[in-house]
Amino acid sequence: MAWANSYQQRDMAAVTRFVAEHVPRNSAVLGPTDAYYYAVENAGSRYLYARPWVSTGLAGTGVDTPPDWDALFAGGNVYLIWPRGSSIPLRLEHNHLQLIGLFKPVDKPGRLAWVGVSGEGYPLTDLYQVVRP
């Protein structure tokens, strides 16, 4: 029942519209491994994980290497979408981030903080443009 009642908060259409309004199509958008992948891809941009997404059994040396900034910027604009209040990956804190938007989720009683578990919705979300370091 909680899952059905929280559909409006979990519906990615609002996040997809937010991304489409703020991010030019075919841009690279870095973000966490949860919640935003389909919204960004559906808005016409390429979603890249800001942190490595590898099971601990497969992780080895060099897995957490910084992104190839030259290759990213050669392809166009680069953005970061991140839940407000969560720590940004260290390797991105050193880059210049310019806040360009804030996604405010549907404010409804019972809305929780994250997508993926029954009854949860999207959090307050910051969208940054990554300015070349």
| Tens digits of residue pLDDT in 30-75 | 998 878 999 999 999 999 887 665 555 555 444 455 567 677 777 7
12 vs 42: which has the higher pLDDT? 42
pLDDT of residue 105: 84
pLDDT of residue 71: 75
Distance in angstroms (rounded) separating the CA atoms of residues 43 and 127: 14
Distance in angstroms (rounded) separating the CA atoms of residues 32 and 110: 23
| Tens digits of residue pLDDT in 71-122 | 777 777 899 999 999 888 777 776 789 999 999 987 654 444 444 433 467 8
- In Å, the largest CA–CA distance within the chain is 48
User: Could you state, in order of their start, the residue ranges of all structural domains in the chain?
Assistant: 2-131
Structure tokens at 124: 């307050």
